[in-house]
Each structure stands twice: as C-alpha cells, then as structure tokens.
Amino acid sequence: MKAVSIATVLLLTLGLSGCITFPTDDSNQVNVLWDVSESISQCEHKGTVIGSQGHFYDYWLHADRDMVWGTLNEMRIKAALLGADTIYLYRPLGFTGSVTMMANAYKCINIQKTTTENAGS
C-alpha cells in the first residue's frame, strides 16, 4: 500500500510539471535581437509578447537553459502568430524558479527590402 501511495504522489508530481515549448516551422523564421535598437528602427511594431517556462513546484525538473530556450520559443511562436519576423527582447526578469521574458514583436523583412530597393534606385 505504501508503494502505491508513493507511486501516486510521484505520478501526480510529474503530471503537474510543465513541458518545455518547442519551436514550430513558422517560429523558426523569427529572429531574436537585444541591445541593437538600430536594427529595428525601420520595422513595423506588431505587439508585445511574453514567454514563461517553469513553475515554483517543478523548476528543479528542468535545466535553466531548457527553460530559457522554451521561453524564447514561446515568444517566437506568439510573434509569428502576430505576423512578426523579429522580436526585440527586454531585459530578462530575475529567475526565481521560472523563466519569464518580454519582447516587442516587429515585421522587418519587407520594410528593409523596400528601403534597400528604394536606395538602389
């Protein structure tokens, strides 16, 4: 009976733990920038995205790098859904058991191509 109780608690704990977000085909096309504000000066702002991975009860089950990777993937997926091709990261929030980041999402490719084409004329 004790083994069943331990197994039940273990399964419930594992069931509560969240998975890391993996990239999609669309999100793989989204660039991630920080500390290069000139790169987005000609881009169209599409919105703000937030990503978060890990919880106070399961953060110890995941490596920090996996939670950061999952957070970036979550933001890239949200940016792709907004029609953006670039996210510009805010300074990360402190990690206290989970990873949470915010970024502005931008559409840059068509704007940069148009600017380059007009400059060449």
10-53, pLDDT tens digit by residue?
A: 444 444 445 667 777 777 788 888 877 888 889 999 999 999 88
Is 98 or 20 the better-scoring residue by pLDDT?
A: 98
pLDDT(2) > 90: no
Beta strand residue intervals within the chain, DSSP E: 31-33, 44-53, 86-89, 99-107
* pTM higher than 0.85: no
- The answer for residues whose C-beta is within 8 angstroms of residue 5's C-beta and 6 or more apart is none
- CATH homologous superfamily for 20-120? Hypothetical protein apc22750. Chain B (3.30.110.70)
- The answer to whether the beta carbons of residues 49 and 27 sit under 8 Å apart is no
Percent of the chain with pLDDT over 70: 62
